[in-house]
Chain A
C-alpha cells in the first residue's frame, strides 16, 4: 500500500545536527513533490521545506532557511532532511508528506506517521 516511513529522530543537544529520512513505497515516488512538516507539542502544523519532483527546486520556511536542507534520491525512493544548529524550539514531531504533480499540483495526500525530534541539554 501507499506508505511513507520516517526515521532518524531522537534526542540531540542544542547546536547539534540530525538527518531525517523518509522511505516511500506503494507509489511512483519520482512523480510526487515532497515536503517536511512539523508539529511542536500541543501546537499546529508548520511547513518546513519543499522539493519538486526533479530535485531542482526547493523552498524553505524562513525560520529554517540556512539551517535545514531538503533533498531526495529518486533511485532510492527516499527523502531527507538535514538539520543543523538545532534549537530547543525545534522540538517537534516531523512528518514527511507529498502530493502528485502532473501539470497541476495536487494536494499533499500521502503522509508518514512522524518521527520525534527532541532538542534538549
Chain B
C-alpha cells in the first residue's frame, strides 16, 4: 500500500460552494500530481508540483487551484463548485529520481459530486 492519503473519499455539495480536497504523503516525495478522471475514462493531469512553492498547470485546463507549502501536503481547491466539476480526483506522488526510474504512487481518490 502506498503512503498517500486523500480526504474526503466522497463529497456531495451544492453549486457555488468552496471545497478543498486534501492530499498528503509520508514518503518524502518532492513530486506530486493531481489527475482528473471521469468514470471509465482516461486520467488527465490538471496540476503538478516539483517541490515546495512550485506548482504548475497540467494538460487539462482546470478551474481548481493548488498549493504546496509543505513537502507532504498538496491540497486542491475549487472556489465555486459547479456540476461540470463532478468527477474523481486522484492525487499521486513520485520519487525525486525522475520519471525514467520510477513510478507514480496514487491515493484512493476523491469522488466529487456537485448538484
**Real complex partners, A and B?**
no
Residues in A lying within 8 Å of B, measured CB to CB: none
